[in-house]
Each structure stands twice: as structure tokens, then as C-alpha cells.
Amino acid sequence: MAKGLYVHIPFCTSKCMYCAFYSIPVGDGDPALFERYIDAVLKEAEMIGGIVSGTKFSTIYVGGGTPTKLSPSMFRRLILGLKETFEFEDDIEFTVEANPESLTAEFLKTAVDLGVNRISLGAQYGSDEALRYLGRLHTVKDVEKSVKMIRNHGIDNINLDLIFGLPDESPETWRHTLNWAVSLAPTHISTYSLTVEENTKLKLLVDYGSIKMPSVDRVIELFEIREEVLSAHGFRRYEISNFAIPGFESRHNLIYWKWQKYLGLGASASSFWIIDYELWRWTNLHSVKGYIERLEDGVLPKEFEESIDDNMANLERVFLSLRLSEGLDVKDRFIAQQIGDEFSEFVVVEDTRIKLTFKGMLVADHLAIDIASYLENPD
């Protein structure tokens, strides 16, 4: 069974208007802070090493934030430190998230030396106007240059992140963005529908009535265009938001969705691991300062932890399986049909599997709760 290692780099140049990920804006950067943070991550790795001893990780994913805010030498120190502490399979998938405005040839050269074989690039949209609106710091040309540079360094396994469902977005501009993205020949495209999250500028604008998010019907139309354009270019949707050329599905993200073990290091990172025959999940402090100080005091920086009981385990399995295109296998045709009848607007049934319709994808989280309770209590 695959096991993943995630490292969170919570630094960004500035904060995008919609972003609810844990990251702090640091402008051009603060080398002293970055070095202390790397020390803390390596300390966390060392302290937690006992829990995962004997494990060979199948994937490494360095995400953020913006990992490409680190200098090449900082990134080298981080990865070499992790390689000293943990064991890895020979053919690991090693992904680094990058933003076009901060990705450099020097960073890529170092990354390739260290074994990075997949880059996930925050492309987001195929128009400069939309990129400015989202608060992104790059242009369409920057994305094109970055993809070329990544390929010139020998990395062909490239994901492009895209956002859709922007206020006033027309079906034509979304179609244009998708066609532009496939013209760059990535192996994987992640498409996230813009959602209004707490503590974001987007939330303020929506609350004050300055902007209006698209209607459900418009978002479904954008889903349909996404499906049409990407499948016409050989991409297969394997999860609600993720499309890949067959064989290039993200091994790391599949670990999350297939409920396999992962260890997360860094501020706000989450882990899911078996300890003494019990399933545990924990999340680190959402504070760079707190995270560093705890580790400097020799204390693990957990903000929250819980053991997962059977009820929670069932709900999570339903929730995660429904996200995948292969759907939730209830292993019984009769039950599958009953669920199909009960939730007919949101799911389709194929043999013993329940799969989401586009409308179902929009309410996947709520639907998972309803289906899990239906499975527990079919009457």
C-alpha cells in the first residue's frame, strides 16, 4: 500500500483574493525565517521518525504556499535532510508545487538533481485580466515560459492548476482557458471551482454585494465544457477536480482519496497514520511562529488530533470514494439501486457502484453524509 510524505511551505509573495490555504505573505522573502522554518521541519521529521520507522514512502509532495519561494540551496538542505531521516521506494513520485513568477532555472536544476520528477504549476487561468482579478502575480506568458523551462530540465510530468466559476466568467473564456492549457501539453490538469471561503477578500466582496458568484446552472455548464474539452484531448477525469492522461494520475493525491497513510510536515500540515493498531489523524499549528517555537522547545507542534472510530471511518470512506470517478462500491446491487432511487438527481448507479452526476459533484460533501447515514440505516 502506498504511503505519502507531504511537506508544507507556507510562504507566498502576497495573498490571492480567494485563498484559504494556510500561507503567510512575505513579499520578497525573509531568508532567516525560511532557514529557521527548514530547521523546524527537519526537527519535526526527526521527532516523528519513530512513528513511521520501517516505512518506505512512495511519494513526496512539497506544497504550499509557494515552495519556489525557497532558494535552491534551502530546498536542497530540506530535501537532503528528509532523505537522511526517512526511507523511500526506488521509483517515488516526487512533486513540487511551483508558481510561474517565482520558478527559476536554478531551482529546477536543483530539484531535478534531488529527484523531483513532477511539477504542479499554479497556472490558474488563460487570460491576464482574470489572473489580475484573482490577485495572481503572473501572466499567461509567464505560464508558457515556465512550462517550457520545466520541460527543458527534463520534467515532462506536469500538472496545471486551473480555477473556474469566476464571477462574470463566460463559457467562452473558460473554453479558451481549457484549450490554452491543453495546448501546453501537460499530463495532468486540476480544475478547482472558485469557492467563497471564510477570511478571504473574496468573501468580503461577496458579503458586501460587490460581486455575485455564478449560478448553479452556470457552474454545471462550466463542468460540462470542462468534460468535453479535456476528454477530447485524451484526459480522463479520475476525481471530481482532477484529469490526467491515463497513467499520469497523481499517485500522491490518490493516497488521500484511497484512504492510505500519509505523513504531513510543516505548519498546518495534516497526517493520517496507524499508531498501535489505531487510526489517527492530526494537524499541526496554523502558525509559522508557533510551529517553529514549539519545535525549538522540542515539542511536536500538533494543534489537533483524533483517533478515528468506525462511524467516522465509514463516513470518510463514502466521502472519499464518491470523489473518485470509479465511485463508491457498496458491493450489493439492490442497495446500490435503492441509493440510486433515493438520490436520483445526484448519483447514477453502475452495477454496485454509486457515481456522482455533475449536480452531485456540487454537493458531494453533504451527499456523502446522507449516503453514509442511509447505508447505516437503510429504512
Residues that bind ligand SF4 (CB under 6 A): 12, 15-16, 19, 21, 23, 64-66, 99, 122
**C-alpha cell, 262:** 500519509
Closest distance to ligand SF4 from the beta carbon of 117 (Å): 22
Closest distance to ligand SF4 from the beta carbon of 343 (Å): 33
User: What's the CA gap between 179 and 42, in Å, rounded?
Assistant: 41
Of residues 96 and 347, the one with the C-beta less far from ligand SF4: 96
Of residues 37 and 273, the one with the C-beta less far from ligand SF4: 37
Number of H helices, E strands in the chain: 14, 17
In which region does residue 59 sit, left (phi positive, over 0), alpha (psi from -120 to 50) or beta (all else)? beta
User: What's the CA gap between 166 and 133, in Å, rounded?
Assistant: 9
User: What's the CA gap between 25 and 256, in Å, rounded?
Assistant: 27
Comparing CA positions, the residue from 126, 76, 81, 75 lying closest to residue 100 is 126
Contact between 20 and 278 (Cβ < 8 Å):
no
Closest distance to ligand SF4 from the beta carbon of 374 (Å): 36
Closest distance to ligand SF4 from the beta carbon of 253 (Å): 16
Comparing CA positions, the residue from 51, 56, 57 lying closest to residue 7 is 57
Closest distance to ligand SF4 from the beta carbon of 45 (Å): 22
Closest distance to ligand SF4 from the beta carbon of 66 (Å): 5
Closest distance to ligand SF4 from the beta carbon of 65 (Å): 5
Of residues 122 and 301, the one with the C-beta less far from ligand SF4: 122
Of residues 9 and 285, the one with the C-beta less far from ligand SF4: 9
Of residues 137 and 300, the one with the C-beta less far from ligand SF4: 137
Of residues 186 and 360, the one with the C-beta less far from ligand SF4: 186
Of residues 21 and 358, the one with the C-beta less far from ligand SF4: 21
Distances (CA, A) of 201 to 64, 65, 208, 287: 19, 17, 11, 20
Total Cβ atoms within 10 A of residue 303: 16
